[in-house]
Structure 1
Amino acid sequence: MTEDRRMLEPMATIVSVVLRVLLAFLTAGLVYSVIHGSWGDLNVCVTDESATSSATAHSFTPESGAQVDSVPRYCAESPSAHLRLLNELGELPSTLLLISGLALLHQLLQGAAKDGVYTARTASRLRLLGWWLLAGSLAVAIIEGNARAALLAALAKGEDFTAGAWLDLWAPPYLAVLTGLGLLTFARITRAGTSMREDLEGVV
């Protein structure tokens, strides 16, 4: 499998290093929270990107033919545990999806280097990564959008936690969805190539 291992570099090494660095930072953050007896970010803020108005501050002077817009940003002075939880739900899922996706990619690359690129096991791992990225990115976008909408409703007067507010703050993960679909396609191609190779080996 030396040739397969060579084909997977330098991607396999880069993914391994990045995954270890991210896990180290995550572990350090958890240890820091335990030592200081606190959790969550004390700076809880949310930006209402759906509401814009023309800025009148003299410190923001546009060029001729340009206009400055102001976007309201709400911050809690002394955030409660509930607000800190909403703030974490608006940011943490993306980090967890990134780390878990890198872990699956690392498992895929290591397994392909060991078992071979054109194997049924490699195709299964590729399909798992595709489904994880496809479903996970959609779930993360929904969770974070709802959390930001709930946080905005808690900090801004006149804002309610509604489906419309969630849609205004929801960022569809187009690239992640397309990448997941692409991985599922390549998983089918890999499985078909594996079957063809097994058939040829059987004939020989």
Structure 2
Amino acid sequence: MTEVTDDRKMLEPMATVVSIALRILVGLATAGLILSVVRGSWGSGSVCITDESTTSSVAPGSFAPEPGAQIASVPYYCAENPGAALRLVAELGTTASTLLLISSLFLLHRLLQGAGRDGVHTTLTASRLRLLGWWLLAGSLVVALVQANTQAAVLAELSKDADFSAGSWLQMWDFPYLAVLTGLGLLTFARITRAGTAMREDLEGVV
């Protein structure tokens, strides 16, 4: 019992911060969804996209750069009255990112709560750590792919110079380096935790 209590203390203040952040995010997401349904404003407003692959040295005259500095213009397209299909595609990337954030926080909260209750050096904790690592690794790649495709689709719809192709979404793809490295790190720590748990069980058996 004392050992589990010590493990719970080691997990603070991370466990409390994650628990509060998860509740706030879920509350905000739920409130936003309810307000959108009540007001009938889901998907309303304009749909905009920036074509960062196209730049021009021509800039509006209202911008005055310092000597030796240059201004580059980047096209910014907006559909003032987009159709339902275009609004759905535009919202898909943001929704996927939000779902990944909330689900990852939930798995982290579950991991910390379980480790505080059952102990850090357990097979179950190692399994939950491994699940979080795979979820973050695979989920970040999927979300980045979804966002790239939705942005390319919106740009193709709003710009005559753009088309929806493999090349267009590859230009939009922002590889999630930090999330991937974090996922790989969690998988490594999961293996370390599992190995440490096995060694500890062997030592306890010998004693």
Bin for the TM-score computed over the shorter chain: over 0.9
Aligned AA for 1:119? T
The yes-or-no answer on 1:86 pairing with 2:98 is no
Tell me what 1:106 maps to. 109
- Deviations along 1:61-117, one digit per CA (max 9) or x if unpaired, are 111111111111111010110111111112111111000000000000000000000
Aligned AA for 2:127? S
- Deviations along 1:170-200, one digit per CA (max 9) or x if unpaired, are 1100110010000000000000000000000
Q: Distance in 2 between matches of 1:9 and 1:170?
A: 37
Q: Distance in 2 between matches of 1:181 and 1:155?
A: 38
Q: Distance in 2 between matches of 1:23 and 1:156?
A: 36
Tell me what 1:144 maps to. 147
Query: Secondary structure of the equivalent of 2:188?
Result: helix
Query: Secondary structure of the equivalent of 1:54?
Result: coil
Aligned alpha-carbon RMSD (Å)? 0.9
Tell me what 1:120 maps to. 123
Report the CA distance shift for 1:41/1:191 in structure 2 as closer, same or farther (over 3 A). farther
Query: Secondary structure of the equivalent of 1:53?
Result: coil
Q: Distance in 2 between matches of 1:50 and 1:124?
A: 42
Aligned AA for 2:169? W
Tell me what 1:164 maps to. 167
Query: Secondary structure of the equivalent of 2:59?
Result: coil
Q: CA deviation at 1:203?
A: 0.4
**% identical equivalent positions:** 69
Q: Distance in 1 between matches of 2:60 and 2:45?
A: 29
Tell me what 1:129 maps to. 132
Taking structure 2 as the reference length, what is the TM-score of the superposition? Answer: 0.96
Asked whether the equivalents of residues 41 and 87 of structure 1 are also in contact (C-alpha less than 8 Å), the reply is: no
Tell me what 1:42 maps to. 45
Report the CA distance shift for 1:41/1:188 in structure 2 as closer, same or farther (over 3 A). farther
Q: Distance in 2 between matches of 1:41 and 1:200?
A: 63
Query: Secondary structure of the equivalent of 2:49?
Result: strand
Q: CA deviation at 1:9?
A: 0.4
Deviates further, 48-57 or 164-173: 48-57
Deviates further, 45-54 or 123-132: 45-54
Deviates further, 127-136 or 50-59: 50-59
- Deviations along 1:140-185, one digit per CA (max 9) or x if unpaired, are 0001100000000001112100111101111100110010000000
Taking structure 1 as the reference length, what is the TM-score of the superposition? Answer: 0.98
Tell me what 1:54 maps to. 57
Runs of at least 4 residues of structure 1 off by over 6 A? none
Deviates further, 84-93 or 95-104: 84-93
* 1:22-41 equivalences in 2 (<5 Å): 22-41=25-44
Q: Which runs of 5+ in 1 are unaligned?
A: none
Aligned AA for 2:104? G
Asked whether the equivalents of residues 123 and 187 of structure 1 are also in contact (C-alpha less than 8 Å), the reply is: yes
Query: Secondary structure of the equivalent of 1:56?
Result: coil
